[in-house]
């Protein structure tokens, strides 16, 4: 299979721009477009209605997709989720009830720790569901059921389109679980599905923030440390933003739950530390505004990712504001992932690093 960069400078840029298309493909695999309801390609290998909990493990960016999945499944399906990075999970000697469901998320399907966690779960009586991008992989082969992400080959070491496709599949799974568990009614399902169908178009709109992000990247490239803050569904996106930035620009970055700011990272804040706040306007927005006030009072430069209402409520506190379209809360992580990817990409380009092949990192980590 020959994959080229097309008109893009890097595979990562190409893969970021492919997202509207690959998200459409992936969603079409899990949604019956005619009725606007979820239609899973195969049955989940456990009774979702009776399930007590789901165990999720994965590594890196795939783990952060799983973390969004946890928020979704707990909120929209009242299904408790235990999640851990696979390198911890495999050695934790986790007690598992027989007949439980274990979920693995992996772009490559070959990550050694994720595969070892899968084998531990299989040996301990779990049914295995995995979300993978490479269908011929070891993780796919050893699973009871595979839910594919239809992202196509991902070449850039830092995962982008695979991540949002993983989110799309997890969102569909959460809706299906919510329906089967009687938490969501038919109308709820249609409303959530409708919001998912809008995602590819909204991603296209979010990509238009690129020129503004390019300007910000110049400023970010001078920072030694960058903080990312988010709450709820957007907390994993803050973690993903920090991960992406450190992976490809080598700038030290940390993602934090916004409410944890005062329990540590606030000590780092001064006029040299940009603070990227991922905060669509929602019922917790006021709390995030007060977190921003604490940052601003210490001279920290806030870059706010929000919507029009959030931009207005934040007033002139932020140093810069990136305004995304209004959208249903359910789909926010899929959309807020886009500026976060572009911020890392353009900062790395500005610094002249090897964006597609960052030092010391591998696309697929098949050793411990």
The catalytic residue among 5, 75, 191, 363 is: 363
Task: Report whether 61 contacts 105 (CB < 8 A).
Answer: no
Nearer of residues 131 and 192 to ligand G6P, judged by Cβ: 131
Say whether residue 353 binds ligand G6P (CB under 6 A). no
Nearer of residues 7 and 360 to ligand G6P, judged by Cβ: 360
* Cα 274-202-161 angle, rounded to 5 deg: 70
Select from 107, 138, 306, 341 the one that contacts ligand G6P (CB under 6 A).
Answer: 107
Rounded Cα gap, residues 113 and 367, in angstroms: 8
> How far apart, in Å, are the Cα atoms of 28 and each of 24, 36, 132?
6, 10, 16
Say whether residue 60 binds ligand G6P (CB under 6 A). yes
Nearer of residues 157 and 213 to ligand G6P, judged by Cβ: 157
The span of 40-48, 95-103, 157-165, 297-305 binding ligand G6P (CB under 6 A) equals: 157-165
> Could you tell me the smallest distance in angstroms from the CB atom of residue 85 to ligand G6P?
10
The span of 108-116, 176-184, 188-196, 319-327 binding ligand G6P (CB under 6 A) equals: 108-116
Task: Report whether 5 contacts 14 (CB < 8 A).
Answer: yes
| H helix or E strand, kind and range, residue 221 | none
CB-based contacts of 40, cutoff 8 Å, min separation 6 = 30, 147, 172, 173, 176
Cα dihedral 4→6→10→16 (10° resolution):
-110
Select from 158, 165, 171, 269 the one that contacts ligand G6P (CB under 6 A).
Answer: 158
The footprint of ligand G6P on this chain (CB under 6 A) covers a number of residues equal to 16
Active site residue 246: no
Binding mask 111-130 for ligand G6P (x = CB under 6 A): x--x----------------
Say whether residue 191 binds ligand G6P (CB under 6 A). no
Q: Which of 131, 151, 107 is nearest to 18 (CA)?
A: 151
> How far apart, in Å, are the Cα atoms of 325 and each of 113, 151, 238, 258?
38, 24, 18, 22
What is the set of active-site residues? 363
Residues near ligand G6P (CB under 6 A) are: 59-62, 106-108, 111, 114, 157-159, 361, 363-365
């Amino acid at each position: 299979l020959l994959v080229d960069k097309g008109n893009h400078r890097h595979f990562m840029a190409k893969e970021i721009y492919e997202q509207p298309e690959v998200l459409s493909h992936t969603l079409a695999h899990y949604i019956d477009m005619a009725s606007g309801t979820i239609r899973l390609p195969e049955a989940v290998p456990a009774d979702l209605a009776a399930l007590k909990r789901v165990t999720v493990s994965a590594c890196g960016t795939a783990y952060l997709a799983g973390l969004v999945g946890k928020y979704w499944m707990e909120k929209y399906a009242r299904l408790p989720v235990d999640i851990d990075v696979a390198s911890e999970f495999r050695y934790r000697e986790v007690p598992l009830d027989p007949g439980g469901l274990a979920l693995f998320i992996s772009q490559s399907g070959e990550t050694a720790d994720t595969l070892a966690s899968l084998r531990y779960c299989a040996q301990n009586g779990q049914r295995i569901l995995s979300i993978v991008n490479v269908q011929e992989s070891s993780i796919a082969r050893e699973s009871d059921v595979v839910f594919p992400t239809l992202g196509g080959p991902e070449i850039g070491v830092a995962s982008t389109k695979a991540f949002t496709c993983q989110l799309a599949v997890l969102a569909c799974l959460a809706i299906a679980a919510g329906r089967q568990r009687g938490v969501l009614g038919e109308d709820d399902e249609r409303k959530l599905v409708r919001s998912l169908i809008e995602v590819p178009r909204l991603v296209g709109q979010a990509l238009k923030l690129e020129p503004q992000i390019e300007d910000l990247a110049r400023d970010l490239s001078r920072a030694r440390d960058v903080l990312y803050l988010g709450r709820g569904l957007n907390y994993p996106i803050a973690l993903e933003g920090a991960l992406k930035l450190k992976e490809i620009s080598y700038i030290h970055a940390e993602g934090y739950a916004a409410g944890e700011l005062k329990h540590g990272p606030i000590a780092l804040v001064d006029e040299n530390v940009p603070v990227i706040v991922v905060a669509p306007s929602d019922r917790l927005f006021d709390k995030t505004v007060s977190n921003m006030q604490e940052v601003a009072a210490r001279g920290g430069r806030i870059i706010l990712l929000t919507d029009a209402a959030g931009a207005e409520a934040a007033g002139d506190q932020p140093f810069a504001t990136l305004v995304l379209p209004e959208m249903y809360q359910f789909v926010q992580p899929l959309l807020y992932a886009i500026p976060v990817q572009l911020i890392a990409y353009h900062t790395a380009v500005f610094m002249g690093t090897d964006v597609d092949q960052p030092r010391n990192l591998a696309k697929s980590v098949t050793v411990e």
